[in-house]
Amino acid sequence: MEKSTIFLDFYGTIVNKDSFGIFLRRLGIGSLKPKYLRNAVKGLKEMSMDNRLVLISNQAAIGYGIIQDKDFKQLLERFDAEMKEKGIIFDGIYYCPHRISEKCPCRKPEPGMLEKAVQELKIELNSGWMIGDQTCDISLGKNKNLQTILVTTGYAGNDGHYKDKPDYVAADLYNASQIIKFIKFSKEEKND
Ligand SMILES: [Zn+2]
């Protein structure tokens, strides 16, 4: 199967939001351990078999000084290492540390973070996917002509920020992986 690129949100999509754990870390206590959502690792494993994976995460909590950049980096390094142990390769991991009021070009649904990945990783956006639990993820995906999947973990799209509707809705990342597999298969079958 042709490799597509899947852009994934982090908190509420792959792992449980644990701002408090990261906050505690600032005080020198607690650990920076990713807390995986149900079926997230299983789904990523499936997706990684015939797709490229890229993480794009909004982290305004850094800009507000609630969590420290170095702590979040450490959490992501641990996440990346745990993924590699399971044979799941992320081609790129990106995050926007800016405050909402800074109106930066990289905070989703702005396309800066995704465009940076496209350029650095030489991504072909054609037949790409965007998966997330918030409407900013779906809005960004739609603007970039990606196929979009809203996962009903995390906010489940109930954040109320943007009106864009996802192409598909999945209960978790494993369901999302099966939707992608099916759609890709259907398209290849048509081209036979
Ligand atoms: Zn930013």
> What's the CATH number where 27 sits?
3.40.50.1000
Separation in Å, CA 130 to CA 31, 52, 123, 186: 30, 12, 13, 19
With residue 95 as reference, give the H or E element that holds it: strand 90-96
Band (pLDDT 50/70/90 cuts) for residue 190 is confident
170 CA distance to ligand 1 centroid (A)? 28
116 CA distance to ligand 1 centroid (A)? 12
103 CA distance to ligand 1 centroid (A)? 8
Q: Which structural domain, as residue segments, surrounds residue 85?
A: 4-191
What is the tens place of the pLDDT at every residue in 36-74? 999 999 999 999 999 999 999 999 989 998 888 988 999
- Across the range 136-161, mean pLDDT stands at 96
Q: Is it the case that residue 20 has pLDDT exceeding 70?
A: no
104 CA distance to ligand 1 centroid (A)? 5
What pLDDT, on a 0 to 100 scale, did the predictor assign at position 189?
A: 83
- Across the range 74-82, mean pLDDT stands at 94
pTM, full prediction: 0.94
Number of domains in the chain: 1
How many C-beta atoms surround the C-beta of residue 189 within 10 A?
A: 8
What pLDDT, on a 0 to 100 scale, did the predictor assign at position 1?
A: 66
